[in-house]
Structure 1
Amino acid sequence: MSEDSVTAVREAAEGLTRRISRDYWLKCARENRFPTELWEGMAETGLLGVSVPEEYGGSGGGLSELMVLNEITARAGIISLFFVLGSFARMPIIRHGSAEQIRRFVTPTATGEAKMCFGVTEPNAGTNTFRLQTTARRTDTGWLVNGSKVFITGARDADSMLLIARTSPFDPERPRGGLSLFILDARTPGIEFQRLNIEVLGESQYLVFFKDAALPADALIGQEGQGMKYLFDGLNTERLVLASMAVGLGNRALDKAVAYTRERAPFGQPIGSYQGLQHPMARAKTQLEAARLMMNEAARIFDGGGDAGPLANMAKLLASEACEQAVDIALQAHGGYGFDQDYDVVTLWPFARLMRVAPVNNEMILNYIGEHVLGLPRSY
C-alpha cells in the first residue's frame, strides 16, 4: 500500500459517487436489473481493476485500496455484494493460478468485460466447509462436477465462477484435505441456476446445481487437494472487504441520523441535543472508527504477506455489530418516518443485519477467536 495509490482510489471513488447516485442504485434494485451504468463507470475509472496487478490489465494496489473503494461507495449508498464477492474471488487465482488462468478469468473482470461469482456454501454443509459434498472427478479430458451450491450472489449475471469441490473423500484426520479449487465458465453445460426468494434490495441469491458439468483439465487452480489453503486467501479478504462495507454503510446511517436530528425539533429544540439519541450515535461512531482502525491494520498485514486471519475476523465482528447499531439508532431517531422508504433509512437495515450472518456468521467468528487467538479448546 502507498499513500498515493490509496489517495488515487479515494478520489476516483468519490468522483464515481458524484456521477452515480443512490437514486439510480435504488431504481435498479427495485426493478431487479443490473446497475450497468455503475459497472461501466467503475470500469472507466479503473476501479474494477483495483487489487489486480497492472501486468494483467488491472489498476494495481492491494486489499487496502479495495477497502477504501468499498467504504466510500457504501457510504454513498451504492452497495454491491456482487462486486465485493467477485473482488475477493480473484485473490486465490492471482496468488495461486497460472498466468493463463489470470489472463483468461481475472483480466476481463478488471476491464469490465466479464463478471465473477464465488461458489462455496452448500445446502447441507452450511458454514462447515470441510464437509462439502460437491465433487469433481477426474476424467480423461478434465473433470466432471456434480453437486450444488447455495447463496451464490449474482450467479445469473456472472460469466465465471470460482468453485471449491471435493476431489477425494473426507478424511477426519485431515479435514482440510481432499478439497480443490477450480475456475470455470459459469455457462458450462450441466450448470443450472434457481433464484432464491430472498428480498435484499440490489442483491440476487441463487441455488446452483451441477449435473455432470464437464470442466477442462486446466480448470484446476494450483495443486489438487490444496483448495482450502488457497481459499483462505479469499476468505480473509472477504471478511475485510465486508468490514469496510459495514463501516461505510454504518456511517451513511449516522450521516442521515445527524442531519435529521439537527433539524427535527417537536419540543422547540433539536432532538439531536437529547442524550437519549446523542449518546447512542456517539457510541456507534466510536465503534465504527475502532473497526476501521482494526481492518486497516489487518489489510496492511495481508498486503505485506503476513497472517491477517485474527485481525480480519475481529474487524468483521466489530464492523458488522457497529453498522447494525448505527442503522438501529438512525431508525429510532427518525421515529415513524424511519420506516417510510422515501426517507431511505429502513432500506439500509437488511444489509446491516445481513452482515452479522454473511459471509460467515458472527458466532463462527467468535469460535475462531476463541480457538485461534485465545487458544481455547475447539467449541464445535
Structure 2
Amino acid sequence: MNFEESYEHASLRKTVAQVCAGFGDDYLRRVIAEDGRTHELWSALGEAGLLGVNLPEEYGGGGAGIAELAIVVEEAAASGNPLLLLLVSAAISGEVLKDVGTDEQKARWLPAMADGSDKMVFAITEPDAGSNSHQISTKAVRDGDDWVLSGTKYYISGVDEASNLLVVARTGTSPSGRGEMTLFVVPTDDERLHRALIPVEVRAPEKQYTLTFDGVRVGDDRRVGEVGRGMDVVFRGLNPERITGAAIETGIARYALGKAAAYARERTVWGGTPIGAHQGVAHPLAAAAIDVELARLMTSRAAWLHDNGLPAGESSNMAKYAAADAALKALDAAIQAHGGNGLATEYGLAHLWGTARLLKVAPVSREMVLNFVATHTLGLPRSY
C-alpha cells in the first residue's frame, strides 16, 4: 500500500488553502457576529471549481470522487472556516443525483451546485422518527402526473440558502411494516412549504429549520430514483455525508492544534521557557494530534472504498465516530493550552466548539455508530 499523497491531491489541498487564506481565519467569526452567511467564501470556492470536484465533468464538476470532496471540506475547516452545507449539498444531494438522477435532472441541478451559484439541501429527519428512518411519516401521494407531499421535517440545515430541497417521503408500506420511501426535489420557495427557525445555542452561519409540507405539489420530473426504493438511494448518500463529516472534524482539529502549538511555542510564564516545553501542556496536544491522524486515515479509507464502489458503511461510521472525538479532544486541549485566552474571541478557538460538538450527534449519533459496529463488525445480536 502506498500512503504517499498524490500530486493531484496535494495540489488540491494547496488550492483550497489559498482560496480560504484570502478570507482569513477570522472570516467565520465575523460572519457569525453579523448573523450572516458564508456566501462570499462559498462563491470563491465555486469559482475555483472546488465545490463540485465529485460531480461529473459534463455538468461542470471535476469528475473526481468523495476522496477529493473530503479534501476540500477538510482544508476549508483547517483554515478556520468549516462549511457544514458541503455535507448536504455536494456530498448527499450531489452524490444522489450523480448516481440515480436522470440526464435531465443532472443537467437541471448539478451545474449550479458545481459552480457555487446554488445549493440543494436535504430533508430526512422527523420529530417522531429520529434515527429510525423507516418510520418517516411525511407522505407523498400520487395525483395524476404530480405528487402531493404532506408532513413535517425538522433540524433541516440551510433551507434559507438553497433553491431546492431533496426530500425523503413515504410512498408506501412494505409487508413487514417498514416505510417504502421515495426521493423528491422540492423548491424551497413553494408557498405550501412553511419553515420555522429552530433556536439553538450553536453559533454557526448554517441555520436549522422545522419544515411543514402542507400539500406541496411537484411533478414526477422531480422524483429522483425509483418509487419505493428511496432508502437504498439514501444510504448511498449518507456514507459520503459521514465521510465529509469526519473530514470537517479533522479540519477543525488541525486548525485548533495549529493555533495551540503556535501559542505554546511563544508563550512564556516562568523563566523564559515556552509553555510548550512543559509536558502538562505538550502531552495533551500530542495525544490529540495522534487521534486526529488516526481519524484521517480511516476517513481516507472510507472515501477510497466509496469511490471504488465497495461497501463503505463500516469505515464511514468509524471515521465519523473517531473524527468527532478527535476534534473535541483537540479543541479542548487547545483551549486549555491557552488558559483564559482560549475563551477569548481574538484567539479564535471557542466559537468552533459548537460545530465540533454538533457533529458528534449528527449526521448520525455516536450511539447508532456503536450499534452498527456491534452488529455488523462484531456480529452481536441487534439491540433495537
Could you state the TM-score of these two structures normalised by the residue count of structure 1? 0.96
Matches within 5 A, 1:141-180: 141-169=145-173, 171=175, 173=176, 175=178, 177-180=179-182
Partner of 2:338: 334
Note if 1:53 corresponds to 2:59. no
TM-fit CA distance, 1:55: 1.0
Matches within 5 A, 1:89-128: 89-128=93-132
Note if 1:354 corresponds to 2:371. no
Contact 2:37 2:206 in 1 (8 A): no
TM-fit CA distance, 1:111: 1.8
Secondary structure in structure 2 of the residue aligned to 1:302 = helix
Partner of 1:201: 204
RMSD of aligned alpha carbons: 1.5
Partner of 2:316: 312
TM-fit CA distance, 1:310: 0.5
Contact 2:141 2:171 in 1 (8 A): yes
TM-fit CA distance, 1:207: 0.8
Q: Deviations over 1:178-226 (max 9, x none)?
A: 1111122222231111111013222211111100000101211111110
Task: Give unmatched runs, 5+ long, in structure 2.
Answer: none
Count of aligned pairs between the two proteins: 377
Contact 2:43 2:117 in 1 (8 A): no
Secondary structure in structure 1 of the residue aligned to 2:224 = coil
TM-fit CA distance, 1:22: 2.3
* Partner of residue 363 from structure 1, selected from 343, 359, 367: 367
Equivalent-residue separation in structure 2 for 1:226 and 1:275 (angstroms): 55
Contact 1:193 1:209 in 2 (8 A): yes
Amino acid in the other structure paired with 2:264: T
* Partner of residue 64 from structure 1, selected from 53, 63, 67: 67
**Percent of counterpart pairs with the same letter?**
38
Contact 1:5 1:65 in 2 (8 A): no
TM-fit CA distance, 1:23: 2.1
Note if 1:41 corresponds to 2:41. no
Contact 1:30 1:201 in 2 (8 A): no
Amino acid in the other structure paired with 1:114: D
Amino acid in the other structure paired with 1:360: V
TM-fit CA distance, 1:174: 5.8
Contact 1:85 1:238 in 2 (8 A): yes
Contact 1:240 1:299 in 2 (8 A): yes
Contact 2:20 2:41 in 1 (8 A): no
TM-fit CA distance, 1:9: 2.2
Amino acid in the other structure paired with 2:270: F
Contact 2:125 2:153 in 1 (8 A): yes
* Partner of residue 190 from structure 2, selected from 166, 188, 191: 188
Equivalent-residue separation in structure 2 for 1:206 and 1:131 (angstroms): 20
Equivalent-residue separation in structure 1 for 2:197 and 2:12 (angstroms): 34
Secondary structure in structure 2 of the residue aligned to 1:365 = helix
Partner of 1:291: 295
TM-fit CA distance, 1:59: 1.6
Amino acid in the other structure paired with 1:169: T
Amino acid in the other structure paired with 2:22: R
Contact 1:291 1:315 in 2 (8 A): yes
Q: Deviations over 1:250-308 (max 9, x none)?
A: 11111111111112222222221221221111111011101111110111111111111
Partner of 1:226: 229
Note if 1:261 corresponds to 2:264. yes
TM-fit CA distance, 1:360: 0.9
Equivalent-residue separation in structure 2 for 1:277 and 1:90 (angstroms): 42
Partner of 2:78: 75
Equivalent-residue separation in structure 1 for 2:122 and 2:7 (angstroms): 31
Partner of 2:383: 379
Task: Give unmatched runs, 5+ long, in structure 1.
Answer: none
Partner of 1:249: 252
Equivalent-residue separation in structure 2 for 1:49 and 1:251 (angstroms): 24
Equivalent-residue separation in structure 2 for 1:26 and 1:83 (angstroms): 19
* Partner of residue 238 from structure 1, selected from 241, 255, 275: 241
